[in-house]
Structure 1
Amino acid sequence: MEQRISLITLGTRDMAGTAAFYEALGWTRVQAQDGVIAFDLMGQTLGLYPLEKLAEDIGIPVEEMGRGGVTFSYNVRDKEEVGAVLARAQTAGGRILRAASDVFWGGHIGYFADPEGNIWEVSHNPHAPLAADGSFRWNGY
């Protein structure tokens, strides 16, 4: 697994209010699918997603999301790599929360928790191909 974070997703109770906060900081939204608000950062993207939907996507009760739902996303170059990264995480002591599977928007994802319970998504997103150096942008390179 390369040392990087591709997408930081904040499980959000108030999407409009939270987006307004980041916009007040001077951040600019980028085009995203319905239900997601995204801000491209330098080499990563910050995504806002409804907290209940994030818990549903992972497959755990919203109460297990803690004080605020946050996932760190690690994007990969091809679909097969998702399962390989999940297996490596499990071997290293992580807990698989969602096995690698196709999702409605055309990607392939899985989730694991590190030993402290921090949640990572592993994602192949055909709509956002990575740069040669592994850099991620919401709409791809």
Structure 2
Amino acid sequence: MNVPPNFSIVTLGVADVAASAVFYRGLGWEQRGDQSVGITWFRTAGTWIGLFGYEDLAEDVGLAAGPVPLAGSAPAYRGVTLALNFASEAEVDEAMSEAIAAGAVQVKEPTRAEWGGYSGYWADPDGHLWEVAYAPGMPARDDGTIDVPH
């Protein structure tokens, strides 16, 4: 058997599930699940984002949790970014503005990139890094999905 590439959930360890849920609802994302059980879900294009307590997630994985990132502190690079692709540069700018209005911290202002696209980065309240991008070679469809060329 090969492992099927059906990426379905990204779970983010967060300091305060309720506060993080407020942020993602502020982006206009659909929330599901009973947050009182310690985890909540947000729909994305074909996958889900789960918000789970930082230390609870470490316990679930079976690893020791490092220090909880301080809300409002400068985001740290953790070797992972999440990306939202858009159909135009204007949509990237609009998404960045909406994320900041919801409480994100702008990490890198959207700029034209050497690869021909346009992108910037923001951090959510727990410092998880999100890229907002327009990539002419793989534009976002109406449903938010993209295709990567051969």
When the two structures are superposed, what TM-score results if normalisation uses the length of structure 1?
Answer: 0.52
Moved over 3 A (4+): none
Distance of 1:114 and 1:5 partners within structure 2: 19
Aligned residue-pair number: 82
SS at structure 1 position matched to 2:87: coil
Match of 1:106 among 116, 119, 137: 116
Per mean C-alpha deviation after superposition, the further-off stretch among 78-87 and 127-136 is: 127-136
The answer for the alignment partner of 1:4 in structure 2 is 44
Task: Answer whether contact 1:101 1:108 (CA < 8 A) is retained.
Answer: yes
> Retained in 1: the 8 A contact 2:76–2:127?
no
Q: Structure 2 stretches of 5 or more lacking a match?
A: 1-26, 30-42, 47-74
The Cα of 1:127 is off from its aligned counterpart by 0.5
CA distance in 2, matches of 1:94, 1:116: 9
Q: Which amino acid aligns with 1:123?
A: A
- Supply the distance in 1 between the matched residues of 2:148 and 2:126 (Cα, whole angstroms): 28
Q: Percent identity?
A: 30
Calculate the TM-score normalised by the size of structure 2. Answer: 0.49
Q: Distance in 2 between matches of 1:132 and 1:88?
A: 19
**Residue of 83, 87, 90 corresponding to 1:77:** 87
- Please give the alpha-carbon distance, in whole angstroms, between the structure 2 residues aligned to 1:124 and 1:134: 12
Unaligned residue ranges in structure 1 (runs of 5+): 7-62
Instruction: Specify the structure having the higher radius of gyration (Cα).
Output: 2
Q: Which residue of 1 aligns with 2:77?
A: 65
Contact 1:5-1:74 at 8 Å conserved across structures: no
Q: CA RMSD in A?
A: 2.4
